[in-house]
Amino acid sequence: MTTNDVEIAIIGAGFSGLGAAVRLKQNGFDDFVLLDRGRDFGGTWRDNTYPGAACDVPSQLYSFSFAKNPTWSRSYSHQPEIHDYINGVADKFGIAAKARFGTEVTRTEWNEDEGRWVIDTLQDGKTDQVRARVLVGGVGPLCEPNLPDIEGIESFEGKIVHSARWDNDHDFGGQRVAVIGTGASAIQLVPEVAKVAGRLDVYQRTAPWIVPRTERAYSSVEHWAYKNVPGYQSAVRGGIYAANEVVAFGLTYSPKALKPVELLCRANILRGIGRDAELRRKATPTFQVGCKRILRSNDWYPALARPNVDLVTDGIERITPSGIVSRDGTVREVDVIVVATGFHVTDSPVFEKIIGKDGRSLAQVWNEIGMQGYKGSFVHGFPNMMLMVGPSTGLGHTSMVYMIESQLNYLVDYLKTSRALGITRTEVKLSAQQEFNAGIQHKLRNSVWVNGGCASWYKDANGNITTLWPGFTFAYRQTTRSFDVAAYDVTRGARRPVAPAAPAGSATGEDVASPATANA
């Protein structure tokens, strides 16, 4: 076993982890390592390769402000292009040399005596250990597939595939396929699988609200303008960002204001399904629009209306070795079951692997108090650990990359403050964490997520919404602009001088500190 001592360890090489690596490097924090169990950068955009996988946030917003991409081919990007973009950013900023791929973090524990995180890893069957003063968790909330707990599922003798662990070698041609789930992943993969499957049964527990997807290819003139007209791309990003923030107002403060969105969704159903009133009824949600994530698609409803597709809404009774029995007793034999049933978000197994100062895991702590932290970033009891896309940072209306960049500002300022003040140990005060969360819950009280009449993964086991940032994202940008050391218990002390002073003029992200609309 080799031991590696570094100043900062980042876990995860998706948008969060890569963004952290770039910003650390730009600010002169060079003693870090990036650990990821996969084989390259990309995180969720590396892992989700199901047919039709695409982003439902406009391309212009789905990139770093410090690495804008003038060459997006379409107004909404598909998975391969986003994956390429992320790897391109890693290349551009020379991050590959810092990354250890194929390295799974099996456990990490805060060692109070050493003032370090001890990180156990597994690489090609070999255990190893990394010690780091600061831990940055960039594993993301959508990384651990959730397999449905349905009676008999283990007895199924055909193929079972989760949307996030797609088998691209499998030929669905002519096969009898069942898809369980009708969330963001399912509505993208069903239209593609339906084109080749012999028969496709879609098992829907809750119908989603879906707006049309205004996707189009960019023209050569637009590409030219994005590349050559100063400020043009920032202006477009700003415009899209501002338009999306209007939706945040409806979601958080005035769900009635979302009525036009509902009408748009209803028109989408009518346009996509046509005359089949029974199918339209089954496909129409019964909760308020926005309560669950609003989805985007032009081809979901036409897919449901195909002669080889059946929308099953009776609920699943059990799975047999050869098929699925629905609650009305109907047996449907299938060759493949696709589980598009989402992820462990509020109950991720990752939480069990992170052990804080009292020997208690994040899972144990959050089982008691709910999934909460301070500014979505720090958790009391877990010194020197910053979580990217932590509690209360999720969104229902715009780009997570904006939230990630806000957190990166906070991370960099935390490290700079620690360096300037000689701080070696930082733990958020319980009182600051509690106050922050009380504020979040207060802000949520009139929101559609609380009052919209749905069950969603936004809620934890106690029914509290611990995943979402309520309100406007520029408010989050503001609250994470600088590190508020007063909210933390800190220890100053001698430490090895690992981080050199930031080089003069080092970028903090070309426009990261500029107005929200410029870097959305």
The residues that touch ligand NAP, with contacts defined as CB under 6 A, are 54-57, 142, 148, 150, 163, 180-186, 203, 205-206, 293, 316, 340-343, 457
Residue 156 CB, nearest approach to ligand NAP (Å): 14
Amino acid identity of 14? G
Q: CA angle, corner 343, sides to 520 and 174, nearest 5?
A: 105
Toward ligand NAP, which CB reaches closer, 104 or 144? 144
**Shortest Cβ 351–ligand NAP spacing (Å):** 18
Helix (H/G/I), strand (E/B), else coil: 301: helix
* Closer by beta carbon to ligand NAP, 183 or else 471: 183
Question: Shortest CA distance to 306 belongs to which of 150, 192, 391, 460?
Answer: 192
Looking from the CA of 246 toward its CB, the CA atoms found within 13 Å total 9
CA–CA separation, 119 vs 117, rounded Å?
6
Closer residue to ligand NAP, CB minimum distance, 130 or 448 = 448
What are the contacts of 57-63 at 24+ separation with CB within 8 A? 57/398, 57/399, 57/400, 58/240, 58/399, 60/233, 60/236, 60/237, 60/240, 61/237, 61/240, 61/241, 61/244, 61/398, 61/399, 61/401, 61/402, 61/520, 62/399, 62/401, 63/401
Q: Which CB sits closer to ligand NAP, 14 or 342? A: 342
DSSP, res 130: E
**SS3 helix, strand, coil % of the chain, rounded to 5?**
35, 20, 40
Q: Which is nearer to ligand NAP, 436 or 449 (CB)?
A: 449
Q: Which is nearer to ligand NAP, 354 or 389 (CB)?
A: 389
Give the nearest distance from C-beta 147 to ligand NAP in angstroms. 9
Residue nearest to ligand NAP (CB): 183
Residue found by looking up tokens 């960049």 in the block: 405
Q: Which is nearer to ligand NAP, 264 or 502 (CB)?
A: 264
- Residue 367: exposed, middle, or buried by beta-carbon count in 10 A (0-12, 13-18, 19+)? middle
Question: 418 vs 456, which CB is nearer to ligand NAP?
Answer: 456
> Residue 501: which residues within 8 A CB-CB, separation 6 or more?
28, 419
Query: Closest approach of Cβ 229 to ligand NAP, in Å?
Result: 28
Q: How far is the CB of 467 from ligand NAP (least distance, A)?
A: 10
Closest separation in Å from C-beta 344 to ligand NAP: 10
Shortest CB 203 distance to ligand NAP, Å: 6
| Least distance in angstroms from the C-beta of 350 to ligand NAP | 16
